[in-house]
Structure 1
């Protein structure tokens, strides 16, 4: 199947932004939500869902729904093995280093594991206990397991019912669905994992973003597929919202918290709950990318290093976690512990590592196909 190098480059860009955000350096805050109240995580999930819809719906059309389901499950298993390997790295090497040098950043990150190591280990493999930074792949696995059923239904009956159900679930997530289900699990199953140790992302909210991307990708394979087009008034409105969001983010007095200390109003832009105004900001940026992105990409030199990272997104994502956890173990989470030149050396070394992982992965995959 033909790869879309533009999408690979965008996914590579999202990985770069995530790395800059997660690595403690002087660039952490400026590069967090750099284009409004939207982070690289939203872009990465949406692009991954788009690619999944594009690839797996084509397989369903060509080879049948059963083949499509098996492909989804193989991918989910691969992601799970990557999560398990990263957890093993965290619970052994990072824990040993952090405890040896008495690193507060590691001890805080692993507080539940250090208090209940056996339960934490078992529940982490069950994708219930999700330490910070390791809570994205479990959500990804959940979406990959749900997608074959949703996609099969949508290909037969259309996407209207799917999107209504998904939007309803997102709405319930805004009013405490996750907390309610957690209380039931504690009451009836005796779940020992604290709620705040089950990952920052609210999967019941983020599934809406995933299934929007899945629909967009699958729609490209429909017999009557047409290019996405937007009226001029909508483009103008999207531009106004995007520019306002960027100015508010970078020139407002509160930085990444749009309403400062007002917790309730900040929930409207909340990342973990995927708040409603955050979706508005994301939709505005998405409209502009769809309309102007292809032309822009054709006018600039191809950034093949970004394409390589995007093509090998899963190994590169795991490699970025290894780098971030290692830095936390040795240097802590201070963003100013190193001089500027130290940050430059650190970031340069990490990105060379990520690019090396990407090239090695692509070489290995090409070798397997030869």
Structure 2
């Protein structure tokens, strides 16, 4: 029986770190804003999407070479279905209990987040099921699902014909987004279908930009040879740029130069502005270069590895916890004692680790091992 690819603990730890940063950012506490983008003008979302694509290329690329392209495609579709069911579960929770709690508790953070649901419930429900209406916090998985559905074709073409042409087209699409390609496509869709969902409610992430990050990660993950050693002429400017952006971020804050909108466009998160892409690329080059040394000298952080091994479950759990926190305690605009916010964060991370530990037990024992009464019942029938 073929063996599954061996896990790389450092990648699990990195994914776990991304989940911690996303939780700190999405939990509506006084620590949300300071926790965002701690490594420069690059967020945990970029790291999480890129790592997910890299792992997909690595795992499913090996699957394609070992079991064939059809097996690879089936595995991608199975994963996409699982993601879609998770999204439906999150939407069901948000559109029912969370929406009711937001109205009942008069919490504007929730009612604002689900604004279009209150305006046009029918269009919101249908649009959300079709991955067109994507309210804040619930707009990452839809992009992930669509990219996973496209990945079998991308990976097949890359393995058969090489990646150069696809990377070039992907880069051109990303470039088009810098001049509003996504909004132009949305306008065309409105004219053709009469779509009633506002552009801002289709999700904060501009898919025409983020596809480039996904395809780059997929390509690197599918490579059979290790990543090349970075030459000094590339490493030195990359390290200088990463360090400069890190200093700029912590001196200027989240908004680099608020009085110059052009700079904000160059560093825009949702459309992956050019300076932001360079920031991500520079951090990537530094990590790839320093990675082997860091793996040798740094201690393994088992809690981060645990979160990373169960990234989907933990990701969904952090969304659920953030939604309930918004519904009961309000948004970041609500002034609370620092001790309350610390307690909320400690409770959130306790919940995430509980979910990860349950996932670990499930992987080790299976569902019947976790629920002995089920196996006991099955033996009596």
Which band: TM-score by shorter chain? over 0.9
Matching residue of 1:289: 287
TM-score by length of 1: 0.96
1:19-49 per-position Cα deviation (integer Å, ceiling 9, x unaligned): 1011122221211111110000000011111
Is there any run of 5+ residues in structure 2 with no aligned partner, and where?
370-381
Q: Secondary structure at the match of 1:334?
A: coil
Aligned partner of residue 289 in structure 1, secondary structure: helix
Structure 1 unaligned regions, length at least 5: none
**Alignment partners' CA distance in 2, 1:297 and 1:355:** 24
| SS of alignment partner, residue 32 of structure 2 | coil
Give the stretch that moved more between structures: 83-92 or 332-341.
332-341
The residue aligned with 2:232 is: 232
TM-score by length of 2: 0.93
The whole-number CA distance in structure 1 between the counterparts of 2:45 and 2:332 is 22
Q: What CA distance in whole angstroms lies between the structure 2 residues aligned with 1:12 and 1:155? A: 29
Identify which of 194, 200, 210 aligns with 2:214.
Answer: 210
Residues 52-88 of structure 1, C-alpha deviations (whole Å, 9 max, x = no match): 0000000000000000000000000000000000001
Q: Distance in 2 between matches of 1:238 and 1:264?
A: 23
* 1:35-46 to 2 correspondences below 5 Å: 35-46=39-50
Alignment-derived partner of residue 325 in structure 1: 323
Hey, what's the Cα distance between the residues in 1 that align with 2:243 and 2:339?
Answer: 32
In 2, the alpha carbon distance for the partners of 1:302 and 1:121 equals 44
Q: For 1:16, what is the secondary structure of its paired residue?
A: helix
Equivalence for 2:77: 73
The Cα shift of 1:305 comes to 1.0
Deviation track 1:187-210 (CA, whole Å, cap 9, x = no partner) reads 111111111100000011000000
Q: Secondary structure of the residue that 2:270 maps to in structure 1?
A: coil
Task: Quote the offset at 1:336 in angstroms.
Answer: 6.0
What count of residue pairs does the alignment treat as equivalent? Answer: 364
What's the C-alpha RMSD, in Å, of the aligned pairs?
1.3
Answer whether contact 1:26 1:336 (CA < 8 A) is retained. no
Partner of 2:37: 33
1:4 and 2:2 equivalent? no
Match of 1:248 in 2: 248
Question: Do 1:28 and 1:335's aligned partners in 2 also have CA atoms closer than 8 Å?
Answer: no
Give the whole-Å Cα distance in 1 for the aligned partners of 2:228 and 2:17. 23
